[in-house]
Amino acid sequence: MKDFEPRIIGFLCNWCSYAGADLAGTSRLKMPPNLVPIKVMCSSRVDPEMVTDAFLRGADGVLIAGCHPGDCHYDKGNYYARRRFAVLKKVVESLGLEAERLRLSWISASEGARFQQVVEEFTENIRKMGPNPTGKETLL
């Protein structure tokens, strides 16, 4: 498993988490390059469909990151995002799939260090889990 480099899809909300990622970058914080960021306007823009699509097509991990509860740019988008994520997580769990490959984190625009820490930790966890078996499965 030494050669395994996880590929993680990150849906980052425009107002907080993407800015947090930016801050981590401009602060020259070192972090693994495994996360492929996709900017969305709000964490609630992430249809669970997008997550399952990534998951079933072999993404080793999927991160959704948005503003802390109460701080949503659109007032309450992240509360809805949390419910949708709960459904997703429980469905995946009930099917015996690896729910640990999905993560929802609140990261504000000022939390560059937290962004670094989440990416580091998530990448390490996924690295330990190994590649997502959906990546090689031909009969999905």
Partner 1 sequence: MPVQGARALSDLTITEPLNRPVAALLRPCEIRAFVENVKQTQGNLENIFIISCTCPGVIPASKLLREDREEILKNHSENIRNSCGACLEFVPGQQADMTVLVASDEPHKGTVIYLHTEKAVEIAEKLDSCTLETGKPPAELTSGILEARKKALKDLMRDIPAPGDGLQSLVSLFSACIGCRGCREACPLCSCILCDYETARTLHSPELVRTEAKRKGSIRVPAGTLQFQLGRLMHISPICTSCGQCSDVCPVDIPVADIFIRAANLVQESLDYAPGRDTDDTPPMATYVEKELPSITD
Residue placing its CB nearer to partner 1 in the complex, 5 or 137: 137
Q: Residue 103: helix, strand or coil by DSSP?
A: strand
- What is the DSSP secondary structure assignment for residue 126, as one 8-state letter? H
Q: Beta strand 8-13 with 102-106: parallel, antiparallel or unpaired?
A: unpaired
Residue placing its CB nearer to partner 1 in the complex, 26 or 67: 67
Q: How far is the CB of 19 from partner 1 (least distance, A)?
A: 19
How far, in Å, CA of 16 to CA of 85, rounded? 18
Q: Which residues pair with 103 in a beta bridge?
A: 63
Torsion, Cα 53 54 56 57, to 10 degrees, reads 110
Contacts of partner 1 in 14-53 (CB under 8 A): 48-49, 52-53
1 binds partner 1 (CB under 8 A): no
Q: Residue 12: helix, strand or coil by DSSP?
A: strand
Q: How many helices (H) and strands (E) would you count in the chain?
A: 4, 4
Residue placing its CB nearer to partner 1 in the complex, 3 or 75: 75
Residue placing its CB nearer to partner 1 in the complex, 64 or 109: 64
Residue placing its CB nearer to partner 1 in the complex, 26 or 99: 99
Contacts of partner 1 in 65-124 (CB under 8 A): 69-70, 76, 79-80, 82-99, 103-106, 118
One of 56, 73, 74, 113 touching partner 1 (CB under 8 A): 56
Q: Structure tokens of 51?
A: 């997550």
Interacting residues toward partner 1 by CB under 8 A = 48-49, 52-53, 56-57, 69-70, 76, 79-80, 82-99, 103-106, 118, 133-134, 136-140
